[in-house]
A and B are shown apart, each in its own frame.
Chain A
Amino acid sequence: MSIKIGVGDFKERVHEELNNEFMRGAVRGAQERLRIKRLDEAEQLGNWEEWRSLGEEIRQHVLNHLDYYLYELSENVAKRGGHVFFARTSEEASQYVKEVVQKKKAKKVVKSKSMVTEEINLNSYLEEAGCEVIETDLGEYILQVDEDHPSHIVAPALHKNKNQIREVFKEKLHYSNTEKPEEITAFVRKHLRNEFLTADVGITGCNFAIAETGSITLVTNEGNADLVMSIPKTHIAVMGMERIVPTFEEMEVLVSLLCRSAVGHKLTSYVTAITGPREEGEADGPEEFHLVIVDNGRSDILGTEFQPVLQCIRCAACINVCPVYRHIGGHSYGSIYPGPIGAVLSPLLGGYEEYKELPYASSLCGACTEACPVKIPLHELLLKHRQVIVEREGKAPFSEKIMMKAFGLGASSDMLYGLGSRAAHSALKPFTKNARISKGPGPLKAWTKIREFPAPEKERFRDWFKNREGGKQS
């Protein structure tokens, strides 16, 4: 399992990231821009809620018939001369890719951005096999050169600023120009051009595979994926097993939702669908095509209460509206999948032991659920995780269990509530000054660390109501 990034526990990572002023400014700015652009595009398209429902319906339909569509997809890829490999685990997937690369005696591999290849830790597998792996998405390339991790699933280097990037390139690649994005980009572009032309194998992810035709679709703004899959002699596409649509028609709906939700554009610069290797008479394309379909825990999610998380089309709209991500950034999550989607997905793919804090790193404000273009009830799934942690995993702290048990009793018995609530005023009296509590005991301590807490009123509302003239009780 290799979705894990970073060191330390959740609290330590959060502490560190909260002090990263640059990252926080960058995230705030990006969230504001992307949110407004996304809402504008949704408005322009019109009937956004109907589009979302359609997206949800397509994704649910595919998940409910995933066996059928996986079979159809693999048959059609094979018909067009492609090779299909089903990988049950991350290791099986990486191993297969490594074998293909070794069989081709490849020295150099170029890659376009792909979360699933991050998930299966593909780069280190290939590097161990003596292969040079080059990321060609600008953000991913920056991270690769700096040996850093992605902090966002669409804009992986969101946490870095242009000055930092310039320093990295200066140190590692002898870059000598300014920190202007245009100059840095031109430098990388020139550098990568040569890599594309000399690579033996190209590896891409897959935004959507089309079952009916055996095609894969890639959505980018930089066009790098098109070079990755058309110049090298061998193309390997790696996809999560759930990323299928029945036909081009559904692909169009999901691409419309994806581009608007991810970057607030009607379309990205490049949306490419390719079908199998180069055929006779075609001008370009690879001689060999492999499709690696990765399970890695996904089939365990199917059929459970968490199935809706597999509807995800990796647009990051939930991340871009999350008020928690806004402050702690991507690296705090300790997973390549950050934000609300990461908080739901990471415990499922990486286990509760590693990711038990993530479901609590949410105020359950529902902004994620509202933004999701395929209607994943993200905040409800976070609640379900909490329930699993309490009931099945037994990982809730003992003191919390006692407190919640007491709360449950108090909240279901008039007598206990009456006793407790009447006692509250006197019990907290020693801590009260000017009707407020500045240094609270027990669970109030964390609250009063930064805020005042109101002292319980001497007369409860119910007492007032009972005593008032004309008040009615039942």
Chain B
Amino acid sequence: MKVSLFVTCLVDLFKTNVGKATVELLEHLGCEVDFPESQICCGQPSYNSGYVEETKDAMKHMIKTFEHSEYVVAPSGSCAFMFKEYPHIFKDDPIWEPKARELADKTYELTQFIVEVLGVEDVGAKMEGKATYHTSCHMTRLLGVKEAPIKLLRNVKGLEFTPLPGAHLCCGFGGTFSVKMGPISEQMVDEKVSNVESTGADYLISADCGCLMNIGGRMERQGKPIRVMHIAEVLNHRG
């Protein structure tokens, strides 16, 4: 199966290992991975700040970039959801709406793709340790992917999986929210960190790098020994 990777700008620039793990994992599962090089950013930061018109060029650029793709897979629930938003944003544009819809329809978040399209629930990963999982808001509420990552994680050999208390609470990232509303974001991430700590986990896993940068960055600042990992890195771990 041919898969086009939408790696997301955070992964491209800051979390290269997540991108590498995503490619290796998909290849391990028999996919042929292609990386359309002209991809940039889905435009979410400026769109969510209210700059809709300014973002449309970026969105059109992404639509063109993935025009030829059969499947588009992103290691991020939030960025994958942004592609799903495109047809709504272009709803009054007869030329771009159908193109946007086509992109939205073939876009999947990584774990969603593995479970729903490839039909795989055990990727043969192995990793020792105790882990908890942070459900990102955009992935669970907006994209609607709740079960796939949990199913996959439960099948990772050696991994002791503990549910995270207060999992429904946002970690306080919210893109520009984290800097625009710094003092509020701080309280939110602190509550998240204390919930993570209460599980006694060695690893905090999530499918969104934004949340991981936020929670992980806070834990690092506080000197907490808990390691954050993207789910692609865990699923690509073979012991």
Contact = CB atoms under 8 A, between A and B. Distances in A.
Given A363-B185, A412-B60, A462-B7, A323 B172 contact: yes
A459 B54 contact: no
B186 A421 contact: no
A411 interface: yes
Nearest to A390: B50
Given A367-B137, A452-B217, A407 B46 contact: yes
A363 B168 CA distance: 13
A15 B183 CA distance: 8
Interface string B4-42: 000101011111100110010000000011111110110
A385 to B, nearest CB: 8
B227 interface: no
A412 B40 contact: yes
Interface of A: 14-15, 18, 35, 321, 323-324, 326-328, 360-367, 369-370, 383, 385-391, 396, 400, 404-405, 407-408, 410-414, 417, 421, 424, 436, 438, 443, 446-447, 449-457, 459-462, 464-466, 471-474
Interface in B144-179: 168-170, 172-175, 177-179
Contact of B13 (A328, A366, A407, A457): A457
A28 B46 CA distance: 32
B35 A387 contact: no
B182 interface: yes
A449 B182 contact: yes
8 contacts: A35-B168, A362-B177, A363-B172, A390-B51, A407-B45, A413-B40, A472-B32, A474-B35
A369 B68 CA distance: 34
A473 B19 contact: no
Contacts of A14: 183-184
A421 B13 contact: yes
Given A417-B40, A461-B16, A472-B33, A411 B187 contact: no
Nearest to B170: A365
B53 A391 contact: yes
B188 A323 contact: yes
B15 A454 contact: yes
Nearest to A363: B174
Interface string B98-136: 000000000000000000000000000000000000000
A436 B184 CA distance: 23
A408 B43 CA distance: 7
Contacts of A386: 48-50
B221 A451 contact: yes
Main secondary structure of the interface of B (DSSP, over half): helix
B181 A421 contact: no
Contacts of A362: 174, 177
Contacts of B36: 473-474
B55 interface: yes
Contacts of B173: 363
A408 B60 contact: no
B213 to A, nearest CB: 6
A173 B132 CA distance: 52
B40, B45, B55, B57 — most chain A CB neighbours (10 Å): B40
B226 interface: no
Contact of B51 (A367, A404, A424): A404
List the 3 closest pairs (A to B, CB-CB), nearest first: A363-B174, A386-B50, A451-B217
A361 B184 CA distance: 8
A461 B32 contact: no
Interface of B: 7, 9, 11-16, 19-20, 23, 32-38, 40-41, 43, 45-55, 57-58, 60-61, 68, 137-138, 141-142, 168-170, 172-175, 177-189, 191, 213-214, 216-218, 220-221
Main secondary structure of the interface of A (DSSP, over half): helix
Contacts of A414: 37-38, 40
B34 A472 contact: yes
B137 A462 contact: no
B16, B168, B216, B220 — most chain A CB neighbours (10 Å): B16
B61 A364 contact: no
A145 B175 CA distance: 42
Given A461-B16, A466-B37, A408 B184 contact: no
Nearest to A456: B13
A72 B11 CA distance: 59
Nearest to B61: A412
B36 to A, nearest CB: 5
Contact of B43 (A321, A388, A411, A417): A411
A447 B178 contact: yes
B162 to A, nearest CB: 20
A461 to B, nearest CB: 4
B187 A327 contact: yes
Contacts of A363: 137, 170, 172-175, 177-178, 181, 185, 188
Contacts of B170: 323, 363, 365, 367
Contact of A474 (B50, B68, B142, B183): B68
Contact of B137 (A365, A443, A474): A365
Given A390-B49, A451-B214, A452-B217, A465 B181 contact: no
